Structure 1
Protein backbone atom coordinates (compact mmCIF):
# COMPACT_ATOMS: atom_id res chain seq x y z
CA UNK A 1 0.00 0.00 0.00
CA UNK A 2 1.37 3.40 -0.96
CA UNK A 3 0.80 6.17 1.57
CA UNK A 4 1.34 9.81 0.64
CA UNK A 5 1.20 12.59 3.21
CA UNK A 6 0.94 16.11 1.88
CA UNK A 7 2.49 18.39 4.48
CA UNK A 8 3.74 21.91 5.07
CA UNK A 9 6.45 23.28 7.38
CA UNK A 10 5.40 24.15 10.93
CA UNK A 11 2.19 22.13 10.72
CA UNK A 12 1.50 20.52 14.10
CA UNK A 13 -1.04 18.05 12.70
CA UNK A 14 1.41 17.10 9.93
CA UNK A 15 4.11 16.34 12.49
CA UNK A 16 1.66 14.34 14.62
CA UNK A 17 0.60 12.32 11.57
CA UNK A 18 4.13 11.46 10.44
CA UNK A 19 5.25 10.72 14.01
CA UNK A 20 2.25 8.42 14.53
CA UNK A 21 3.10 6.42 11.40
CA UNK A 22 6.82 6.42 12.21
CA UNK A 23 6.09 4.96 15.65
CA UNK A 24 4.16 2.13 13.97
CA UNK A 25 6.76 1.44 11.30
CA UNK A 26 4.55 2.50 8.39
CA UNK A 27 6.44 3.69 5.33
CA UNK A 28 5.09 6.73 3.50
CA UNK A 29 6.09 9.43 1.06
CA UNK A 30 5.93 12.99 2.39
CA UNK A 31 5.30 15.81 -0.09
CA UNK A 32 5.67 19.44 0.99
CA UNK A 33 2.93 21.48 -0.66
CA UNK A 34 4.92 24.69 -0.15
CA UNK A 35 7.89 23.38 -2.13
CA UNK A 36 6.22 21.11 -4.71
CA UNK A 37 3.69 22.66 -7.09
CA UNK A 38 2.47 19.23 -8.22
CA UNK A 39 1.79 18.26 -4.60
CA UNK A 40 -0.20 21.45 -4.02
CA UNK A 41 -2.18 20.82 -7.19
CA UNK A 42 -2.93 17.23 -6.11
CA UNK A 43 -4.27 18.44 -2.75
CA UNK A 44 -6.40 21.10 -4.41
CA UNK A 45 -7.80 18.59 -6.91
CA UNK A 46 -8.88 16.42 -3.98
CA UNK A 47 -10.73 19.44 -2.62
CA UNK A 48 -8.60 20.18 0.44
CA UNK A 49 -7.22 23.48 1.66
CA UNK A 50 -5.55 22.37 4.91
CA UNK A 51 -2.67 20.03 5.69
CA UNK A 52 -1.99 17.29 6.28
CA UNK A 53 -3.75 15.40 3.55
CA UNK A 54 -3.25 11.65 3.69
CA UNK A 55 -3.84 9.48 0.63
CA UNK A 56 -3.76 5.71 1.12
CA UNK A 57 -5.29 2.81 -0.74
CA UNK A 58 -7.77 4.96 -2.66
CA UNK A 59 -8.94 6.82 0.46
CA UNK A 60 -7.99 10.33 1.50
CA UNK A 61 -8.65 12.72 4.36
CA UNK A 62 -7.32 15.86 5.96
CA UNK A 63 -6.07 16.36 9.50
CA UNK A 64 -4.63 14.13 12.20
CA UNK A 65 -6.97 11.12 12.28
CA UNK A 66 -5.56 8.37 14.54
CA UNK A 67 -8.43 5.97 13.77
CA UNK A 68 -7.67 6.21 10.04
CA UNK A 69 -3.93 5.93 10.65
CA UNK A 70 -4.52 2.76 12.69
CA UNK A 71 -6.31 1.29 9.66
CA UNK A 72 -3.22 2.02 7.55
CA UNK A 73 -0.90 0.54 10.17
CA UNK A 74 -3.03 -2.61 10.38
CA UNK A 75 -2.97 -3.06 6.61
CA UNK A 76 0.75 -2.34 6.20
Structure 2
Protein backbone atom coordinates (compact mmCIF):
# COMPACT_ATOMS: atom_id res chain seq x y z
CA UNK A 1 0.00 0.00 0.00
CA UNK A 2 1.30 3.45 -0.87
CA UNK A 3 1.79 5.96 1.89
CA UNK A 4 -0.99 8.50 2.30
CA UNK A 5 1.38 10.89 4.09
CA UNK A 6 4.06 12.81 2.22
CA UNK A 7 6.68 14.93 3.97
CA UNK A 8 8.48 17.48 1.81
CA UNK A 9 11.87 18.34 3.34
CA UNK A 10 15.11 20.16 2.64
CA UNK A 11 18.65 19.26 3.76
CA UNK A 12 19.77 20.59 7.13
CA UNK A 13 16.24 21.46 8.23
CA UNK A 14 15.82 21.04 12.00
CA UNK A 15 12.02 21.20 11.84
CA UNK A 16 12.06 18.56 9.07
CA UNK A 17 14.07 16.19 11.25
CA UNK A 18 11.78 16.81 14.22
CA UNK A 19 8.72 16.12 12.06
CA UNK A 20 10.20 12.87 10.74
CA UNK A 21 11.09 11.70 14.26
CA UNK A 22 7.62 12.54 15.60
CA UNK A 23 5.93 10.63 12.76
CA UNK A 24 8.16 7.61 13.36
CA UNK A 25 7.42 7.76 17.10
CA UNK A 26 3.68 7.75 16.33
CA UNK A 27 4.19 4.83 13.91
CA UNK A 28 2.87 6.85 10.95
CA UNK A 29 4.02 5.55 7.57
CA UNK A 30 5.20 8.35 5.31
CA UNK A 31 7.15 9.15 2.18
CA UNK A 32 9.92 11.77 2.19
CA UNK A 33 10.53 14.00 -0.80
CA UNK A 34 13.62 16.24 -0.86
CA UNK A 35 12.57 19.63 -2.22
CA UNK A 36 16.16 20.46 -3.16
CA UNK A 37 16.25 17.48 -5.53
CA UNK A 38 12.70 17.56 -6.95
CA UNK A 39 11.67 20.69 -8.86
CA UNK A 40 8.14 19.37 -9.50
CA UNK A 41 7.61 18.77 -5.78
CA UNK A 42 8.96 22.24 -4.99
CA UNK A 43 6.46 23.80 -7.39
CA UNK A 44 3.65 21.70 -5.86
CA UNK A 45 4.51 22.94 -2.35
CA UNK A 46 4.59 26.54 -3.59
CA UNK A 47 1.17 26.03 -5.23
CA UNK A 48 -0.14 24.89 -1.83
CA UNK A 49 1.05 28.27 -0.52
CA UNK A 50 4.11 27.24 1.47
CA UNK A 51 7.57 28.78 1.42
CA UNK A 52 9.19 26.82 4.26
CA UNK A 53 9.83 23.17 4.99
CA UNK A 54 8.71 20.76 6.16
CA UNK A 55 5.37 20.49 4.46
CA UNK A 56 3.25 17.52 5.46
CA UNK A 57 0.51 16.49 3.06
CA UNK A 58 -2.17 13.85 3.57
CA UNK A 59 -5.17 12.90 1.47
CA UNK A 60 -7.29 15.43 3.38
CA UNK A 61 -4.97 18.11 4.79
CA UNK A 62 -1.58 19.79 4.65
CA UNK A 63 0.52 22.02 6.87
CA UNK A 64 3.97 23.53 7.17
CA UNK A 65 6.46 23.48 10.03
CA UNK A 66 6.90 21.17 12.99
CA UNK A 67 3.37 20.70 14.32
CA UNK A 68 3.17 18.07 17.09
CA UNK A 69 -0.55 18.83 17.48
CA UNK A 70 -1.22 18.00 13.81
CA UNK A 71 0.98 14.90 14.01
CA UNK A 72 -1.01 13.69 17.03
CA UNK A 73 -4.30 14.26 15.18
CA UNK A 74 -2.97 12.45 12.12
CA UNK A 75 -1.79 9.47 14.15
CA UNK A 76 -5.19 9.22 15.87
CA UNK A 77 -7.09 9.21 12.57
CA UNK A 78 -4.80 6.59 11.04
CA UNK A 79 -5.09 4.27 14.04
CA UNK A 80 -8.85 4.72 14.45
Asked if TM exceeds 0.5, the reply is: yes
What runs of 5+ residues in structure 2 fail to find an aligned partner? none
Instruction: Find the counterpart in structure 2 of residue 25 from structure 1.
Output: 27
What is the TM-score when the length of structure 2 is the normalising length? 0.90
| Pick aligned residue for 2:17 from 12, 15, 18 | 15
CA distance in 1, matches of 2:43, 2:7: 14
CA distance in 1, matches of 2:13, 2:45: 15
What is the TM-score when the length of structure 1 is the normalising length? 0.94
| Pick aligned residue for 1:58 from 50, 57, 60 | 60
Aligned-residue CA RMSD (Å): 1.1
Detail structure 1 runs of 4+ shifted over 4 Å in the superposition. none
What runs of 5+ residues in structure 1 fail to find an aligned partner? none
Q: CA deviation at 1:23?
A: 0.9
More strand by share: 1
Instruction: Find the counterpart in structure 1 of residue 41 from structure 2.
Output: 39
Instruction: Give the greater-gyration-radius structure (CA).
Output: 2
Aligned residues: 76
